Amino acid sequence: MNQYEDAPQYLKDFLVYMQVIRGKSEKTVYEYYLDLHTFLRYLKCIRRNISLDSFDECSAEDVSVDELKSVDLSFLYEYMYYVSTVRKNSGSSRARKVSSLRTFFKYLSSKTGILQNNPAKELDTPKLSKTLPKYLSLDESVRLLSSVSGKNAVRDYCILTLFLNCGLRLSELVGINISDLKEDSLTVIGKGDKERTVYLNTACVDAINEYLKVRPHENVIDKKALFLSSRKTRLSGKMVQVIVKKNLEAAGLDTSKYSVHKLRHTAATLMYKYGNVDVRALQEILGHKQLATTQIYTHVDNEILREAALKNPLADINSKVGKKDNETKN
């Protein structure tokens, strides 16, 4: 918890609770810290009449319990207005902040007794505009795989193949150990440190086997890691992002539009569109806790909607209403 030094004790206790009791990942707990640290600094500035121009220099460490007790629903909406208009937070960022505040104040009121009432209980989540996730078409995916080159081409091809076929998260891919590999599957650690099995198709098995032939074996620093850097250490997430961007550029694809996570979107879309994969099966493949999250990935393109309309069994039934009347009149 050293990274949370600029936090009051009750916030540190909450973060420990979320990680140890609720089983949240380090990354998720750190996001809670960022959200709540921002809120506490805002609370301090407002209650102590400190100019918000000095917000970034303001510490949260000494925000008292009494100041917490002064928070009501109206104050929370004022804060959300501040992060929206002044700090220019996106809808998704504001939604995450609302979720963090709800969880934090529920903990303070129901688990610790620090607060008698939960001011965030009725705090509404910002309405998010529903935009379809960006993804590579089948042709673009093939083009990306065909464009891989360079001294680490075999490794990079394997990485892209796993992303596009399995829909792995970045953290899941870099966390793969050699011991996680089975004959036609691998084990990954997903969000919340949840373990799941990912089944491999022929393209993935072949790509892994080809990479294992050239993967360094001597003087390897991280012997467990599947994917190694040129320094023979576990390949970092940041380096994988560089690799993906380089190959997207080589394939002539827009790197401002596509990224590592968009390859996950692509895998989900291609499986759903071409593989007749049931949405609940896809939920398991992608490691989603909520089905609603999977349904965002399984968007249907306009061509499929058009085809569905044409395939309706009533599509060729022409209206005869009025024709009989006209025939009678004639």
Query: How do residues 212-239 score in pLDDT, each as one tens digit?
Result: 999 999 999 999 999 999 999 999 999 9
Which one from 191, 196, 245, 246 is the annotated catalytic residue? 191
Q: For the residues 56-68, what does the mean pLDDT come to? A: 93
The yes-or-no verdict on residue 53 having pLDDT over 70 is yes
pLDDT of residue 290: 65
Q: Check: CB of residue 258 under 8 Å from CB of residue 140.
A: no
pLDDT tens for 98-117 read 999 999 999 999 999 999 99
Read off the tokens for 229: 């850097």
261 is catalytic: yes
pLDDT of residue 328: 53
In words, the CATH class of domain 2-112 is mainly alpha
Taking the complete model, does pTM exceed 0.75, yes or no?
no
Reported as a pLDDT band with limits 50, 70 and 90, residue 125 is confident
264 is catalytic: yes
pLDDT of residue 199: 86
- Identify any residues that bridge with 225 across adjacent strands, giving them in sequence order: 177
265 is catalytic: no
169 is catalytic: yes
Q: How many CB atoms within 10 Å of residue 289? A: 12
- What is the residue extent of each domain of the chain? 2-112, 138-308
Distance CA 26, CA 191 (A): 10
Which one from 94, 169, 215, 262 is the annotated catalytic residue? 169
Architecture per CATH, 138-308: Orthogonal Bundle (1.10)
The yes-or-no verdict on residue 119 having pLDDT over 80 is yes
